Amino acid sequence: MNQCIPFEHKIKEIPINKLKKYYKPKIFIGFCKDCKYYNKIWACPPYDFETVDLIDPYKYAYIIGSKIYLNKLNGKLKELLNNDHVEFVVNEIYKSARAVLDQELMNIENKESDSKVLFAGRCMMCDICAKGNNKPCIYPDQLRYSLESIGFDVSLISEEILEYKMLWSSGKLPEYMILVSAIFSNKAIDDSYYSTFIDQW
């Protein structure tokens, strides 16, 4: 589905110590308590560790913004939107984008030693997380967190670092949606990795 969706992408490098300006765990992990996934997914709060321990080992952050233009959809997707299937279409777009984005991020992490990716939202490895049944994660090697789930102000990151203003639905479909993911690394990442990654979209 991603091939018929209009995208725009940015990648911005920022030192971890400067990214910490946006790290406000008491506020943003607190917001997670209102989410239906709170305490139901291993990649979501609450955690039995300090989230700063996921950040401090690294020197660099690569913030990746994926802007999906919902107002430029065409074909079957636009038809569905015009037939009051907005929630279905947006969810399908999100899942399709995440499937591509997550895999490309993992490819970069696998090529770059001493790096870790953060996905643009909740873990989507399983339809039903094992945590709900008080069981350990089925895919612990593939479990990745998101910036917001560990306490970052993603809206401000998007606006100030990526220069993408996040839009929120207020009874109508927004012009676009933003996915914000990241790569934490201890060395500058070869830009040929992520330029190729961007070109594939």
Positions of E strands within 57-194: 60-69, 115-118, 176-185
Locate the domains of the chain by residue range: 2-199
Q: Are 149 and 43 in contact (CB under 8 A)?
A: yes
Rg (CA), the chain: 17
The Cα 33–Cα 28 span in angstroms is 9
More confident residue, 127 or 174: 127
Please state whether the predicted TM-score (pTM) of the whole model is above 0.85.
Answer: yes
Give CA separation, 108 vs 74, 150, 155, in Å.
31, 21, 24
* pLDDT tens digits, 20-76: 999 999 999 988 988 989 999 999 999 999 999 999 999 999 999 999 888 776 666
* pLDDT tens digits, 88-129: 777 888 888 898 899 989 998 998 888 999 999 999 999 899
